Amino acid sequence: MDIAIDLGTCRTRIFIKGRGVVLDEPSVIAYNTVTHEIIAAGQDAHEMIGRTPPYINAVFPLANGVISKAALVEDMVNIFMSRVCQKRLMMPRVAACIPGEITEVEQHAVVNALSSCGVRRVCLIEAAKAAAMGSDLPFNSPHGSLVVNAGGGTTDIAVISLGGIAACKTLKIGGNLMDEEIVKLVRHKHSLLVGTVSAEKCKISIGTLLQPNEEKECTLKGRHILKNLPQTVKITSSGIRNAILPIAEQIAKSILSVLEVTPPELLSDIQSDGLTLCGGLANLPGFDALIEQHTELKVTVPENPDLRVIEGCGIATQYLDGVSKYYGENVMPLKVAH
């Protein structure tokens, strides 16, 4: 059995060859801080965030695209694998996504977490490269393709050509940082403490990077800082835009920095084709228009942009034997085998 895993900061997705995406749940695990017993993982654990007693902790064990709590990630991956693999004795092979710029130590942390499930082989692939494969871009030809994968914890920007990465940059910013900026906005403007989960729901509901023609409102509930009492406030779409716009502009400017180190021959291809925007942030209204404004490139957002990485990682499982079967060429997109 061959399995692809996108172990993301916000969500973990699992793809099984022949079955497609079989799991898509938040990368959250809840445990007892006294007995260290695992209480829940995935969606069940996500619903516990901010609602647990002191002896139960619900956390994201990954931060900025890398593992921050290794033991908890191993437990979470084991739970997820047990949900999708009925026959654990099969010892599957795994292709896993990693950020474009990652250290050897961080790579080994991913491999160790997956190896704890009893897999017999682990191969790694950069998220931007997987996104290119999942978006049906000309992956193995000498043609430059610019891919931006903007997720919750990281944003990967890469130029793909001949099955490799010609230029890349990984930013440790994404949707999570936008949620934190919304929390700060509500705290400073309304003196109200709210959680990042509530801020994320508000961003998804009315968040936009366009100048809204019609103001939308979202209700947030929290604790007033001065009164220490529950209180409700309404935040507008313009307020959210002002909070998250600097982060989006930073991503757009970083795309320009990648283009500065891209070979001129590949730049001509990018100028003709534009760039492909993937990841959860691609669903944010106005994000593609903002990038077009800064880069003067056509931006294409594929269908279900948040699934392009796991779909591409699923395609990469066909390379686990070491021979290309998908493109018919001897191109090896997988980075490391353990």
pLDDT at residue 230 is higher than 50 = yes
Q: For the beta carbon of residue 228, count every other beta carbon within 10 angstroms.
A: 9
Q: How many structural domains comprise the chain?
A: 2
Q: Give the pLDDT confidence of 25-73 residue by residue, as tens digits.
A: 999 999 999 999 999 999 999 999 989 999 999 999 999 888 999 999 9
Looking at the structure, tell me whether residues 155 and 201 fall in a common domain: yes
The CATH number of residue 80's host domain is 3.30.420.40
Looking at the structure, tell me whether residues 92 and 141 fall in a common domain: no
The rounded distance, in Å, linking the Cα atoms of 188 and 185 is 5
226, part of any domain:
yes
Instruction: For residue 296, give every residue at least 6 positions away whose Cβ sits within 8 Å of its Cβ, in sequence order, or none.
Output: none
Beta-ladder partners of 129: none
330, part of any domain:
no
Q: For the beta carbon of residue 62, count every other beta carbon within 10 angstroms.
A: 25
Looking at the structure, tell me whether residues 154 and 264 fall in a common domain: yes
Q: Give the pLDDT confidence of 272-284 residue by residue, as tens digits.
A: 999 999 999 999 9
104, part of any domain:
yes
pLDDT category at 328 given cuts 50, 70, 90 is very low
Q: What is the pLDDT of residue 324?
A: 40
Looking at the structure, tell me whether residues 81 and 39 fall in a common domain: yes
Q: Report the predicted TM-score, pTM, of the whole model to 2 decimal places.
A: 0.90
- Find the mean pLDDT for residues 293-306: 95
- Find the mean pLDDT for residues 176-202: 94
Looking at the structure, tell me whether residues 110 and 181 fall in a common domain: no
306, part of any domain:
no
Looking at the structure, tell me whether residues 34 and 101 fall in a common domain: yes
Looking at the structure, tell me whether residues 6 and 144 fall in a common domain: no
Looking at the structure, tell me whether residues 183 and 75 fall in a common domain: no
Q: Give the pLDDT confidence of 255-274 residue by residue, as tens digits.
A: 999 999 999 999 999 999 99
Looking at the structure, tell me whether residues 271 and 167 fall in a common domain: yes
80, part of any domain:
yes
The rounded distance, in Å, linking the Cα atoms of 146 and 116 is 35
The domain of 214 spans 136-301
- Find the mean pLDDT for residues 166-170: 94
Range scoring the smallest mean pLDDT among 88-97, 150-159, 223-232: 88-97
DSSP string, 224-293: ETTT-SEEEEEEEHHHHHHHHHHHHHHHHHHHHHHHHTS-HHHHHHHHHH-EEEESGGGGSTTHHHHHHH
For residues 176 and 152, the answer to whether their CB atoms sit within 8 Å is: yes
254, part of any domain:
yes
For residues 179 and 199, the answer to whether their CB atoms sit within 8 Å is: yes
For residues 110 and 95, the answer to whether their CB atoms sit within 8 Å is: no
Looking at the structure, tell me whether residues 113 and 215 fall in a common domain: no
Looking at the structure, tell me whether residues 215 and 261 fall in a common domain: yes
The residue among 281, 209, 205, 326 whose CA lies nearest residue 8 is: 281
Range scoring the smallest mean pLDDT among 142-146, 291-295, 334-338: 334-338
329, part of any domain:
no
pLDDT category at 125 given cuts 50, 70, 90 is very high
333, part of any domain:
no
* Residue carrying structure tokens 């695992």: 38
Measured torsion, CA atoms of residues 89, 77, 46, 188, in degrees rounded to the nearest 10 = -170
Looking at the structure, tell me whether residues 77 and 140 fall in a common domain: no
